[in-house]
Chain A
Amino acid sequence: MSAVQLEQAKKTEEEFKDAGFRVEKVGNTTVFERDVPESVVEASRVFIRSNEKTKSATNGNSNGSDDAPAIKP
């Protein structure tokens, strides 16, 4: 790597660190990692529940989920 490339790499590392990434070295390769935020996990939960409701409705259980809020027009 040239000096310019090294400088750029260092700058990139700092930017990622500031944004909350972990900087991991795997051999000579740098990996920037960040955990999945809870908001994303929560959103996934909503989509999975939506599938479960669809499955329940398809199986003849129109109730779907026990705590599903009623949708009113």
Chain B
Amino acid sequence: MGREIRNQNLGWVAAVTSSVSSGAFTVMALLGLGHPVWDVVLSAIGIGPLVAGSLYAGRTEKRYRQELVGIAEERAAHQTELAESRVVQHKAQAKAEIAEARHRAIEMLCDVVYRFLKIDEVHGLRVTLLEVDNSSEVAVLRQVARCQPGGPCQLSESSMTIHQGVAGRCYRKIASAIVNVPPGEFIPSMLDLGFLHDEAKMLEARGSYLCCPVVNERKDVLGVLSLDALHPGAFDADKEAIAQQVTPLFVQWLTDPDREGL
């Protein structure tokens, strides 16, 4: 804006100077004072500021345009940066939503197993999907989802290696395993199954365990479907057959190709 005003002023100066020199030129011609020297002097007075003004205005215009281009480029870069940051934000949000939906799906599947087994509520059945985590030196069975009377519930903090518990044995043997724990025998049974005394004391005492391996087509164990109940004798051969037959439903979830990319 300031530059425009300066350019306008310079234009006015050039116009006024030219008019004055033209007027003087005319008056002198009318008065008969025309002389070639005066012609040159008056022309120089009129044309000089006109040329200087035009040159200055042109140069200012060019600089002004360059600055405008710079501002436009800067604005475009800022908008691109803003758009990229929004894309990153949207991607993170979509990723979180997909992970949440996946978690709900696996919880629903555990709930289906829970209802399918039709075990008396007095047994306080829990259905837990354990996933094999090979990221550490000794593979660990990590809880993925759990259902109990009343629906899906929070996962517990405890984890076990593949050398511990009924689930660990099920993993190593690639076979279903059922264990009944007589009342008062929980800690000794857990010691038998590979837990240290301090670890066994941290576990919630249960009376029955049924674990089925979730295998792929090469019989590699991808996870363990673990069921436990409050009292001994909750699981028989029929319940084991049902639980084992539903394990392929978990295979698709555990081998989802998009899982790693989430």
**B233 interfacial by beta-carbon distance below 8 Å:** yes
Count residues of chain B with CB under 8 A from any CB of chain A: 40
CB <8 Å contact, A40 and B245:
yes
Alpha-carbon distance between A22 and B240 when the two chains are bound, in angstroms:
13
Q: Which residues of B contact A41 (CB under 8 A)?
A: 215, 217, 219
CB <8 Å contact, B193 and A26:
yes
CB <8 Å contact, B244 and A33:
no
CB <8 Å contact, A31 and B216:
no
Alpha-carbon distance between A73 and B148 when the two chains are bound, in angstroms:
41
Interface of B is mostly: mixed
CB <8 Å contact, B251 and A21:
no
Choose one: A16, A35, A48, A55; the contact of B174 (CB below 8 Å): A35
**A62 interfacial by beta-carbon distance below 8 Å:** no
CB <8 Å contact, A47 and B248:
yes
**Residue in A12, A15, A51 with the greatest tally of chain B CB atoms within 10 Å:** A51
Q: Which residues of B contact A22 (CB under 8 A)?
A: 175
**B179 interfacial by beta-carbon distance below 8 Å:** yes
Q: Separation in Å of the B235 CB from the closest CB of chain A?
A: 9
CB <8 Å contact, A36 and B176:
yes
CB <8 Å contact, A28 and B217:
no
Alpha-carbon distance between A27 and B193 when the two chains are bound, in angstroms:
8
Known: A40-B247, A44-B216, A44-B251. A28 touches B192 (CB 8 A): yes
Known: A32-B177, A33-B173, A36-B174. A27 touches B191 (CB 8 A): yes
- A19-B237, A44-B214 are known contacts; what are 20 more A-B pairs with Cβ within 8 Å? A9-B180, A15-B236, A20-B237, A27-B191, A29-B179, A30-B179, A31-B178, A32-B179, A33-B169, A33-B176, A34-B175, A34-B237, A37-B244, A41-B217, A43-B248, A46-B248, A47-B255, A51-B255, A52-B257, A54-B257
